[in-house]
Amino acid sequence: MFEFVDIEATSYCNAKCPFCNRQFMDFEQKHLDIEIIKKLPFERIKKVLLLGNKGDAIFYNKLHELVQHIVSNYTSKIILHTNASAHDIDWWIELAKTFGNRGYIVYALDGLEDTHRLHRIGTDWNKVVRNVTAFNNAGGYSICQFIKFKNNEHQIDDVRRLIKSIGSKKIWIRKSRDYNDVLLRPDGVKTRHELGEDLKNHRIECTFLESPSFVLTVDGEIRPCCFMADDDYKRNFSIHLKEDIKYPQHIIAYRKDPNSINLKYHPFDAIMKSDYYEAIKHNYNHLFRCNQKCKVTFNDIIDEEFYG
């Protein structure tokens, strides 16, 4: 049984968040064919995350159909991550109804109107609040994700009050993956990367093997995790290759036949038994990316708060 799959159903988004993968690489804007997604073994997957590295699932052209397919045929929970700054109220009411009690949304609200727009460039704070209110009022369950900067940390209590008043159930306050001249670092806060540097001898917690879980990219590839699926990984491939020189079997397997991990061309179980996955399973402890990313856990970068 898999704990979760993270599906990158689309690479479309209306925002320009400065640290998003979207900003670092040219890529094609496209949707993943729903028939490819339907090939996943949902009967063996507890949670379906509609997240990905470079798109917002609310722009997926078959979103309602996909949610309906999972709700009607399987027992998996659905968790949709979004900036919530698009579509009209009716669209959000319909989404809440399609979800029923089988799913929830995690929406980005990084402060009040004046600070949210510094990070969520291109989104409309008022529209986010309006859409989430409609979703909640229609019976939807929502969690607010607040990324903390020096610019917005004084507004945490205001946001807490606001989201409670519109019916959201929980808030996640988390560290940013980076900071810049506009989005300033709160005192004493370290990024995931920096925390990882401090934890040189710490055990690697591999979510792919320990959760277990995997990612389906918009290209149809099955990747072990978001860190091995993002464009930063692809961009810095030569660095990884240099560092992984003693254990490059996964790179060789991938380069030899990139389609060997693609759900468009192979069944899911065959992909999991491919040379690429055998190499990852045996070598992850030694791989540069795994050492760089997975000494830090989700709990190290997030403070979760419940409202009940």
Site residues, ligand SF4 (CB under 6 A) = 13, 15-17, 20, 22, 55-56, 83, 204, 206-208, 224-225, 227-228, 280, 284, 289-290, 293-294
Sequence-distant (≥ 6) Cβ neighbours of residue 222 within 8 angstroms: 214, 215, 216, 261, 262, 263, 268, 271, 272
| Residue 85 or 136 with smaller CB distance to ligand SF4 | 85
Say how many CA atoms lie within 13 Å of 88 toward its Cβ.
1
Q: State the angle between helix axes of 89-99 and 63-73 in degrees (0 to 180), rounded to the nearest 10.
A: 20
| Residue 71 or 123 with smaller CB distance to ligand SF4 | 123
- In angstroms, give the least distance from the CB of 266 to ligand SF4: 19
Q: Nearest Cα to 14, choosing from 70, 57, 50, 52?
A: 57
Which amino acid belongs to residue 113?
Answer: E
- In angstroms, give the least distance from the CB of 82 to ligand SF4: 7
- In angstroms, give the least distance from the CB of 143 to ligand SF4: 15
76 touches 95 (CB < 8 A) = no
| Residue 148 or 293 with smaller CB distance to ligand SF4 | 293
77 touches 102 (CB < 8 A) = yes
54 touches 27 (CB < 8 A) = yes
| Residue 71 or 95 with smaller CB distance to ligand SF4 | 95
- In angstroms, give the least distance from the CB of 16 to ligand SF4: 6
- In angstroms, give the least distance from the CB of 308 to ligand SF4: 28
Q: What is the DSSP string of 172-201?
A: EEEE-S---SSSPPPTT---HHHHHHHTTT
| Residue 71 or 229 with smaller CB distance to ligand SF4 | 229
